[in-house]
Amino acid sequence: MSETEILRYQGISKRFGGVNALVDVSFAVNRGEIHGLVGENGAGKSTLIKITGGIYRKDAGQIFWNGSPIDVTSPIHAQDLGISIVHQEIPLCNNLTIAQNVFMGNLITKGVTPDWPAMEEKTVELFRQIGQKVNPRQRVGELSVAMRQLTAIVQALRSKSQLIIMDEPTAALTPGEVETLFEVLRKLKAEGTTIMFVSHILSEIMTITDRITVLRNGRHVATVNTEDTSIPEIIGMMVGDIPLPGHKETVAKRDDVVLEVKNLNKASLGLKDISFRLYRQEILGVAGIQGAGRTELATCLFGVHPPDSGTIEIEGKPVAITNPRAAIEVGLGYLTEDRRNLGMFSDMNIWQNATAVIIDQLTNSGVLDQDEIEQVAFRSVKDLRIRTSGLEQKIRYLSGGNQQKVMLARWLNAKPKILILDEPTRGVDVGAKAEIRRVIQELVRQGISVIVISSDLEELLNISDRVLVMANGRIRGEYLAHEATTDKVMALATLK
């Protein structure tokens, strides 16, 4: 092992049941670098991270840490070694203050009494080291996602971590928050901290990293210098021979209105005078910055938060959508942006999740028709290329991209007239994005109209027929997608 290496994986393998999650993975992470880790969902990134952090135990191979072989037995052991993970789902205690979270499990004491003034002072100092000001007494539950991540980073600094692993750190951040995070990571690198940066957003990987490791199907494909590669080359290594789709072929019928919303208002959500039309077989994009009201509009249409006033018409008929059940009955489906907490049933298996909306239709004299259920679920797995060990596998054990495909399958099986997709490709890799786009386009060809909410403007303009732009709870304008540019959309999205 070279003296420049802080961490080396040598022949790491891991199986879950009959599925190979990692197969003979070998590469090194250099001291003081920002090392990117990329791959499709299911490529093995999360498994490798969890082995490094002591959450999983490897089946074979060896990990070398600062030149010595180690076997990480628990997250506490990893932290003692100097390895910290900032997870995508940030495990902080919302009801405690920033300082209490930073020093959780390692209190500064005065005798036997916690010395909170000292811990609060040290918290301010640690945040100052990364160029941030903070009120150490503020409760974590009041923080933005970006500040929660910075709090987790400061936790790692407090424990004197030599390696900080960032798992999809920018998935829920605004562009400004991403740049702030990158400034912090550059400061940490300059001070000698090593960063492993895991992300599906390849433009960010190219911006922030020194080297990039690519995994595919649980195997190591390559480790390359960032300056010597390109996004197309990285995509090629990630997905192999999977073709990526070009711009969609428009099939929207502009003379057939399937949904019309008139003067919709919802004071508690900040929605004001929303009016628009959705045409049959149209993909209607909804753009806007964080807080613009996009998700709020989706939940209002789907009856999670019924409107205060205004009308909703489906196929020319006024409908009263007072709850999600009523929305489903009139032909709406809704894929939430928060699949983990609001979408999937984590302790249920694939067939239970995929058939949840139509389970009443899969009964025979009040008894579940298991054969029919399995046929529906198997077809979903096949059509959406869901990687799984079987229909009985719990959805919590799937990769994020495969979880999202199961959520899509749930609504495909329900055959809605209108499907609302909120951030359908957030946190999934380029291969899964391509497959989800194909599914959306296939839905449209089958006659379904789709509303897509996305923070990825380039993707939104590429897949949509039209794009509505929201700001401050209002629709500020619309563009035909082929006439729109990111600059035009952002100009409307930032109107006061």
- 23, 353, 365, 381 from 376: Cα distances, Å: 32, 11, 19, 9
% residues pLDDT > 70 (the chain): 94
Strand partners, 113: 110
pLDDT at position 480, please? 92
On the question of a common fold for 5-239 and 253-493, the answer reads yes
DSSP 273-341: EEEEEEEET-EEEEE--TTSSHHHHHHHHTTSS--SEEEEEETTEEE---SHHHHHHTTEEEE-S-III
Contact between 418 and 314 under an 8 Å Cβ cutoff? The reply is: yes
Residues of the chain with pLDDT under 50: 242-247
pLDDT at position 2, please? 62
pLDDT at position 98, please? 93
pLDDT at position 181, please? 86
pLDDT at position 244, please? 42
Most distant CA pair in the chain, distance: 77
Q: How far apart are CA 480 and CA 469, in angstroms?
A: 11
> Tokens 């009959």 identify what position?
18
pLDDT at position 375, please? 78
> Tokens 């400004």 identify what position?
176
pLDDT at position 249, please? 54
pLDDT at position 259, please? 96
For 6-41, b/e burial (b = at least 16 CB within 10 A) is bbbbbebbbeeeeeebbbebebbbbbbbbbbbbbbb
Domain coordinates in residue numbering, the chain: 5-239, 253-493
- Per DSSP (E only), the strands in 32-97 are 34-38, 60-65, 68-70, 83-86
pLDDT at position 365, please? 66
One-letter amino acid of 160: K
- CATH architecture of the domain with residue range 5-239: 3-Layer(aba) Sandwich (3.40)
pLDDT at position 14, please? 95
| 165: exposed, middle or buried (Cβ count in 10 Å: 0-12, 13-18, 19+) | buried
In this structure, whether the domain defined by 253-493 belongs to CATH 3.40.50.300 is answered with yes
- Per DSSP (E only), the strands in 417-482 are 418-422, 449-453, 466-471, 474-480
Q: How far apart are CA 292 and CA 475, in angstroms?
A: 9
